[in-house]
Amino acid sequence: MQSQLRGLSAALIYFVALLILAFILAPLIAPVIIAFSDGIIVAFPPQRFSLRWFTKVLADEEFLAALAFSARLAAAVTVLALALGLPCAFGLARRRFPGRDAMMALIMAPLIFPVLVTGLALLQFFTALGSRNTFLHLVIGHTVIAIPYVVRTAAASIVLVDEAIEDAARTLGATRLCTFLFITLPQIRQGIIAGAVFSFVTSFDDYSLSMWLADAANFPLPLQIHVFIQRFFDPSVAAISTLMILFSMMLMLLIERGMGLSVKRLVTT
């Protein structure tokens, strides 16, 4: 694709875009700078260089417990969302049947309602049922909001599969399972991985649903970080932020390497 932006107006656009990119990066860079400061309050300019907030945070049992809990929760959500979402994506992408449009609308419905409202509704629902299993509530809640992403990414890649190749495998005597594993699966692998990443991140990052359903024994990381923000005024929260930002960047690079974050691809699908 050849560059279409030329001349003086192009220079202006690039300049404004640079400012906007700085706006995007500012709240990510600020905590990183503060995290390495030796000062005991969050303030610019940063004081002498120090790593003490990192050592404090990494020894904090509440932080580590919340991190482990969120990872466990997100893993469970990913498994359940894929188990429900993948067959559904196949059914909706491959078959035409009455009621298909209504089903598709229902699958996308979690995106229409604010997560906060879904969470409140689930809290009232589980309370009315008398259910006490908080971990299960969180898994169910996060799966509800993860399903649309799984179905959408998986369906998008299933549609692209050339069914003639599957037919060829079947004609040559491959069993259904064999065809699925060696012909279909490799072609939709990216869609499944994308769906898995989406559901993991959806659960790992969720605040608005967890805030209704969590309890002291089942306390996800985002809620814990919010508690830290209210409790600590020193740069320790900035240190946590730095760790999580670095982790996110690494994940992003991994995704970029693995799936290609090409502009065209992201923009046109």
Partner 1 sequence: MHRRLFQSFGSAAGMSGPALAAPAVGFLLVFLIVPLAAMLLYSVSARVAGGVLVPAFTLENYARIFTNDLYLRFVIRTLRVALTTTLLCMILSYPLALILAHGNRTFARITMLILVAPLLVNLVIRSYGWTIVLNTRGLLNWLIASVGLPVPGQILYSEAAVVIGCAHLFLPLMVLPLAAAIIRIEPSIMDCGRVFGASEFRVFCHIVLPLSLPGLAAGSALVFPLTAGAYVTPALLGGNFASLLGNLIEQQVVAASNWPFGAALATLLVAILLLVNLIFLKLFERKTARWVHRGR
Q: Which of residues 146-165 bind partner 1 (CB under 8 A)?
A: 147, 151, 163
Q: Which of 244, 218, 90, 171 shows the shortest CA–CA distance to 252?
A: 244
> Which of 71, 75, 79, 84 lies at the binding interface for partner 1 (CB under 8 A)?
84
Single out the segment in contact with partner 1 by CB under 8 A; choices: 48-56, 58-66, 71-79, 101-109. 101-109
Q: Count residues near partner 1 (CB under 8 A).
A: 108
Q: Give residue for tokens 């993948």.
A: 86
Q: Does 92 bind partner 1 (CB under 8 A)?
A: yes
Q: How far apart are CA 95 and CA 92, in angstroms?
A: 6
Shortest approach of partner 1 to residue 157 CB, angstroms? 13
Q: Which of 237, 244, 250 shows the shortest CA–CA distance to 35?
A: 237
Single out the segment in contact with partner 1 by CB under 8 A; choices: 54-62, 71-79, 118-126. 118-126
Q: Does 173 bind partner 1 (CB under 8 A)?
A: no
Single out the segment in contact with partner 1 by CB under 8 A; choices: 52-60, 61-69, 71-79, 90-98. 90-98
Phi, psi of 95 (to 5 degrees): -110, 150
Residues 44-63: b if buried by 16+ CB within 10 A, e if exposed? eebeeeeeebbebbeebeeb
Q: Does 191 bind partner 1 (CB under 8 A)?
A: no
Q: Does 170 bind partner 1 (CB under 8 A)?
A: yes
Distance, first Cα to last Cα, the chain:
18
Q: Does 140 bind partner 1 (CB under 8 A)?
A: yes
Q: Does 266 bind partner 1 (CB under 8 A)?
A: yes
Nearer Cβ to partner 1 (28/51)? 28
Nearer Cβ to partner 1 (4/216)? 4
Q: Does 100 bind partner 1 (CB under 8 A)?
A: yes
DSSP per residue, 65-104? HHHHHHHHHHHHHHHHHHHHHHHHHHHHHH---TTHHHHH
